[in-house]
Chains A and B, each alone.
Chain A
Amino acid sequence: MKFIDPDTDIGGLLHKFPVTNHSAIVAARSDDEIIRRRAFDTILNSYWKPVYKYVRLKWQASNEDAKDLTQGFFANAFEKNHFASYDAAKASFQTFLRTCLDGFVANERKAGQRLKRGGDMDHYQLDFAAAEDELAAHETASTLTPEEFFHREWVRSMFTIAVEAFRQRCIESGRLVHFQIFERYDLNDDNVSYASLANEFGLDVSTVNNYLAAARRDFRRIVLEKMRDVK
């Protein structure tokens, strides 16, 4: 089990440079509701699964409760513009969000009522069933603290988003074969060799090697780009 070490220089993903103006977190403070909504969508897309799984695990919530709490948390955050109060000097956005979430769940539990939260969240297609399946398949969950688990799930969420973004970019740029080779070699479970991929795609081995190297480079850029936006 691995984490990207936040203090390593070479790891790079969690460096402590100031958040850029392009960050969704900065945009979440905008007075313009359209910009704020777009930023909120980005944050929701990156964090809803870790939030759901975290609530299931740390708060021992049933899947229905976790679903309501997840939707309620984000609906509340958008309505009250909670993300605007984030201060980068005090903590990472991830820690801030998790602290807000703990506070929210604790309050809901204290109130002793389970409210059916829909409202502003109804139009989001959050696949809770898939999140539940993933939770069942997690091997590492029991060995991690809730905080570590949340971070791990956030990383998984970001990589999943990055894989889809990479697939889309490859399709748009007419380089689908790059993605397919990356998918076959790095994402699929079967152990394929360069030679078998060369045979499968009608390429020579050195071309497969070059395509895979280029794909990994592009994928890395997308991961960094996506992570920069929401951390």
Chain B
Amino acid sequence: MTWLSDDKLDHLLDIVGSKYAFVKELGRGGMGTVYLAEDRELDRHVAIKVLNAADVADGLRERMMREAQIIARLEHPGIVPVHDAGTLPDGRIFYAMKFVRGSRLDEYAAQGASLRDRLRKFQAVCDAVAFAHAHGVIHRDLKPQNIMIGSFGEVLVMDWGVAKIRDDPSQSAVLNTSDGTVIGTRHYMSPEQARGEVDIDERSDIYSLGAVLKFLLSDQKVSKPAKAIYSKAMSQTPADRYASASELSADIGLLLDGEPVSAYRENALEKAGRWIGKNRFLVLLVLAYLLMRIFLIFTARR
């Protein structure tokens, strides 16, 4: 039989002691680092978010576990699924989630996606956020860098690290924002969140969604109704915004279908123009028919 020295035994313990084998670092944030790892049991890649240090304040550990629990609760095709959570042998908290192969929304847009594709992806983001809201979860850091487009075109909302659970009494302690600490990314942040207000609600995410839409359309020829949609979503006063992400999604759907959107009141000319744009084939057919008639009348007279 093979004799296993202490060194060899330690080496073998390293090999089998952990379910996950480190592959490479994917990204680093304030709270944790995300690694690409191999799940040895299931022979697949996963993304593992690991708290940066074991010896951190309890609030941070709770926040990390909270994030894992929040995502695990949100079972939706638009929200990255959590596979596992626990503590590493060195005491650091971790959770393992699906490793999404694809591009971030900003990279996707930079690759030259069409306007319709961008709107469809944005609609999928709204649907995922609407699902989270329906489960009482507010993301609070929606931005293109936190949205992934998978290799099958699927849209996944990531990074729920600063999410808030509505009506959760432990929430302010967990997130340490009861003192008004500003969390989120300023460019996409609602005014009330930027002011450090504690009682923000779903409409703060609506503002961020509007900012994401504005970003997606920034290098496109944009219609007035499209502008009106992100302007309404980004209203300074929450009450003036869409009441829900579903309403915003519905308006995007109407825009895609060439229907009037709730955010924009058309004049008669615009209404006619939109009708023509929507029924272009029919209009061309009628025009062709009329031209043919005129031509026939003209030739018959000669």
B3 / chain A contacts, CB cutoff of 8 Å: 130, 134, 137, 160
For B267, the chain A residues whose CB sits under 8 A away are none
Chain A residues engaging chain B, CB cutoff 8 angstroms? 1-5, 8-13, 130, 134, 137-140, 155-156, 159-160, 163-164, 183, 186-187, 189, 213, 216-217, 219-220, 223-224
Q: Could you say which of B83-91, B125-133, B219-227, B236-244 contacts chain A?
A: B83-91
Contact indicator per residue, chain B 1-28, by CB within 8 Å of chain A (1) or not (0): 1111110111111111111100000000
Is there an interface contact between A139 and B86, defined as CB atoms closer than 8 Å? Answer: no
Given contacts A8-B87, A160-B4, contact A1 B12 (CB under 8 A): no
Q: Does B40 contact A (CB under 8 A)?
A: yes
Question: Are B40 and A220 within 8 A (Cβ)?
Answer: yes
User: Inside 8 A of B13's CB, which chain A residues have their CB?
Assistant: 2-4, 155, 159
B residues apposed to A, CB below 8 Å: 1-6, 8-20, 38, 40, 43, 84-89, 94
**Judging by beta carbons under 8 Å apart, are B12 and A159 in contact?**
yes
CB of B8 within 8 A of CB of A164, answer no
Chain A positions within 8 Å of B4 at CB level: 156, 159-160, 163, 187
**How many A-B pairs fall under 8 Å by CB?**
86
> For the complex, what is the distance from the CA of A140 to the CA of B7, rounded to whole Å?
10
Q: Identify B15's interface contact among A1, A9, A219, CB under 8 A.
A: A219
Query: How many whole Å from A223's CB to the nearest CB in chain B?
Result: 5
Q: Which of A130, A140, A213, A224 makes the CB contact (< 8 A) with B6?
A: A140
From B10, B17, B18, B89, contact of A1 by CB (8 A): B10
* Assembly CA distance A9 to B17 (angstroms): 10
Measured between C-beta atoms, what is the minimum distance from B37 to chain A in Å? Answer: 11
Q: A219-B16, A220-B40 are in contact. Are A1 and B2 (CB under 8 A)?
A: no
Evaluate contact between A138 and B6: CB separation under 8 angstroms: yes
